[in-house]
Each structure stands twice: as C-alpha cells, then as structure tokens.
A and B are shown apart, each in its own frame.
Chain A
Amino acid sequence: MAGASQFPIPQRPDTGRRATAESPVAKVLLVGITLVFFSLFLLLPLFVVFQEAFSKGLGVFLKTFRDPYAQDAIRLTLLVAAITVPLNTVFGLAAAWSLTRFRFSGRSFLITLIDLPLWVSPVIGGLIYILVFGSKGWLGAWLSDHGIRIIFAVPGIVLATVFVTFPFVARGLIPLMQAQGISEEEAALTLGANGWQIFWRVTVPKIKWGLLYGVILCNARAMGEFGAVSVVSGHIRGKTNTMPLHIEILYNEYHFAAAFAVASLLALLALVTLFLKTYSEWRAAEQLKQL
C-alpha cells in the first residue's frame, strides 16, 4: 500500500498519439519533403519526357518511329531482351534452387556474389568483356583468327546485358524460397511424384509471382541498360544501336523531339513494368501469407 502511494506511476500526457509517433510538425515536414522530392525528381522528369516527345506534334512523334535506324534500334533492344531474359530466368531459378535447397560451405559468399553486378558500375560490366574478347583482349587474337566478332557486335551487347541483369531473378526468388521451405516438395516426393512433376506441380505454383517479379525487373533493366552496352556496342547505326544508345545519338545531334519520342517509349515500358511489378509483388506477398 505504502509503496504504491510513494511511487505513483507517472501518467503520460494524453496527446492522442503513440509514444513512437512524431510530433505533428515533424510529420508535416517529413511528408512535405517526401512529396517535393517525389514530384521534383520522379514525376516532373516523366512529365517532361512525354511533353517534349509531343512538342512538335503527333506527326513528328510518329515520324521518329518510321526512321529505319529507330526501327533497327527497337528491334535490337527486343532481340537482346529476348535472349537475355530467358537466360537469366533459367540461371536465376537454378541459383535460387541450389542456394536455398542445399547447405554447403561458401553458400553465403555465393549469395553475395550474385549481387556483384548491382554494386559495380555498369561501365565496368562492359569493360571486362572488352578485356576478355576485345581485339587486344585475352581471347581477341584467337577470335579474330576464327572470324568471330563479339565486341562491337550483338554478342557483346548480349553478354554485357546478361552481366548487368544477372541478379534480378535470383534475388526475387531466394528470400521467397527460403521462407517457404521444402516440406511441400517432400510431401510430393512421398506421394510418388518425380523431380520433374514436383518442379512443375508444386514448386512453380509456389514461386510463380516471385519469379514473375524478377523476370519483369530483369526485362526492364535489359531494355533500358545504357552504360555496359555503350562500352561494348561501338554505336554502329542500324547494327549495334539499342534504344537507349539511339536516344543518346539523337539527342547529341539536336533531334530533341525525336530523342524524347524514343525516350517516351522506354518510359512507357517503365510504367508498364512498375504496374506489373507492383501486382506481382502483391501476389507474391499473398502467397507467403498462405503458409
């Protein structure tokens, strides 16, 4: 009794907010900064891209895409994505599978290594291939003797893009597969399913949204990559120019409306990607909740 009256529990002033919540002033300030930043650095550029693209009217906009060089650039970008994305999807699946299903020494180092392309500058991603396959590179003499062109040609662009987009699928899958565990696969095994059946009937349905998420990000980066591709491409119009490189050339030659027109196509792709990404992310989270 005495103890209770000697040490009364101090009452928190009732301000109607949780102890960890910020003061109203800080709240307004933080939200304000976020909004300003968001509009200045994200919304405004996006708006400018579309505005500039149509600044000389719809006619000029459409004419840009009738230019054979522009069409070649779009075709090459689609080709590179069509090779890169399936390659990295298979690689990402294999990597995520082996890194989450098996315990071996060096495993966490490998998980770190997968991220490497995200840390190094894309320019380095391009340069390493020049060092290996370029005319003065390790394999350069042998390749030119056999009439194989990799640098300043499509294979080099594909290699550089594969390097840069390497981590996306694996990174999307590893945390998901780690959280899901393997008990459903084991159950399928005891029910008489073979490896192939387990993969298609149990594993793929479990990870499909996470997989889609990774594939979408991989595709967006593959189509948008500038730095690594720029190093190995050689900028040969109609041959080794991708969309981002084509935009740069148009811009440097003062074809602003045309440059922005092609850029608006890439920006549109980014918006579609964003939508698909958000959707697949949401579905992947739903799938995790079912555990």
Chain B
Amino acid sequence: MSIRIHHVTKRYSRYPALNDVSVEIETGELIALLGPSGSGKTTLLRVIAGLEFPESQGTVLFQERDVTRLSAYKRKAGFVFQAYALFAHMNVFENIAFALRVLPRKKRPPESTIRARVRELLAAVQLDGLEKRLPTQLSGGQRQRVAFARALAIEPEVLLLDEPFGALDAKVRKDLRRWLREFHERIRLTTIFVTHDQDEAFEVADRAVIIDKGVIQQSGTPEEVRNNPANEFVRDFLDL
C-alpha cells in the first residue's frame, strides 16, 4: 500500500513538531525516518498510524483513500512501539490474539482459527513454545518479536516501527536488523521505521527520509544521500 502525506503540520502547544511535511512512500518500500531526537520523526510515524492528527490543511492518503481524520483503530496500520507496550497482564498468546478477539462479532474468527493464526505468527517470529509466558518473563529481543507478531495479527497493509532496535543490546540489534531486512524481502510489506542511527537506516532501508526541526531535509537511497547531501545539516548529521 502506498502512503502519501501532503502538507502535514502538527503543533504541540505553539511549537511545531512537523512543519508542512510532504512524503510519498511506494507500495512495498522499506523506509527509514532518520533524524536526531526531537526532530519530529516519531510524530510523523504517529500521524501515519492515526495516533496524532495533523492541523487542518494536511492530508494522509493510504493508496487512494483519505485517512487523515480516521482513528487509529480503523486504519489497520501495524505499529510496534519503542518500549513494545505489550499487555503486561496477558501472556504471549493473548497478546498476539488481542487483535482477533476485539474484531466485531461478525468478523471474529472461531477459537480454533485464532489458535492456528497465533501459532503461525509465533512461528514467523521464531517464538514457538513461549505462548504461556508473561511479557516480564521474556528477554528484550523476545518482547520485541512478540510486539512484532502482535502488530502483524491485524494483517496490516503498512508496518510502522518506532525505534525498533533502540532498547536492545548490540548483538541482538545486529541480528534483528538482518531479520527485518529478510522479513521484508519475503513479504514486501510497506514498512516505515524510525531511527536516529544512520548505520541502521542505511543498512536496512531502501530509502531514508532525513528529518530535522519538523522539516524533511532530504530523501533518497543511501548512495544518493551520501554522495549528494542536500544541505549543511545532512552533511553534518551524517558526518560526511
């Protein structure tokens, strides 16, 4: 699914977190939103998810559909939170099954289908056998993957990841980068992730969108950006 963002501005009190931002993301792309902390990259991700709404003039289009004012719960955008936000009182199975259990009665699959679907997702993130564990009984990397499986349960057409590698140690981070890239190659789901680490952005993403002070500074493939930094900020931020 393609995503088109046109002239989005988002203010918290007076200070703009996003200032007239326009981005186009094509179906099946893997995009990194790259920028220093406070640059507005997470706000942009939350606007795409429907967790924040832009000021009056902006629009967000999923494919041809205008979703600008649509609440997150109707958007079907899979979101993986920075600190995972797993449901602490539910085990792994119930965390992943949540999206299926809250479906309207008419669309809700029978219990056997829910079981099969959760098993499938657990296998996809290589966590078979951990259904009964509570989030507190998992390592950081395992929690990350549960959050991932939970977001995939809604069969999203876009996957949004907020600092997906942030809270993990270096070794797990490396594995996860490779895993995300392979996962993307396999299912070609439009994916957008937020990071402040240029190595991460350039190693994993097809294209990086570099943001600072709520404004998009440059957007392009790693080579394009490296060979042709658009301005002083990009040059400085990438240490070129």
Contact = CB atoms under 8 A, between A and B. Distances in A.
Interface of A: 183-184, 186-194, 197, 201-202, 205-206, 287, 290-291
A153 B153 CA distance: 57
B73 A190 contact: yes
A202 B73 contact: no
Contact of A192 (B81, B83, B85, B99): B99
A90 B103 CA distance: 27
A186 B153 contact: no
B177 to A, nearest CB: 23
Contacts of B72: 186, 189-190
A201 to B, nearest CB: 7
A190 B79 contact: yes
Contacts of A290: 88-89, 134-136
B150 interface: yes
Contacts of B98: 188, 191, 193, 201
B102 A197 contact: yes
Interface string B67-91: 0000111111111010101111100
B23 interface: no
Contact of B85 (A186, A193, A197, A205): A186
B216 to A, nearest CB: 24
Contacts of B76: 192
A193 B102 contact: yes
Contacts of A191: 73, 98-99, 102, 150-151, 153-154
A190 B78 contact: yes
B81 to A, nearest CB: 6
A206 B89 contact: yes
Interface residues on B, range: 20 to 34
Contacts of A287: 88-89
Given A186-B85, A190-B78, A193-B102, 18 more contacts: A183-B85, A184-B86, A186-B81, A187-B85, A187-B87, A189-B72, A190-B49, A190-B73, A190-B75, A190-B154, A192-B99, A192-B154, A194-B73, A201-B98, A201-B102, A205-B87, A287-B89, A290-B88
Contact of A187 (B77, B79, B89, B103): B79
Contacts of A187: 79, 81, 85-87, 150
Given A186-B51, A290-B136, A192 B78 contact: no
A186 B147 CA distance: 13
Contacts of A186: 51, 72, 79, 81, 85
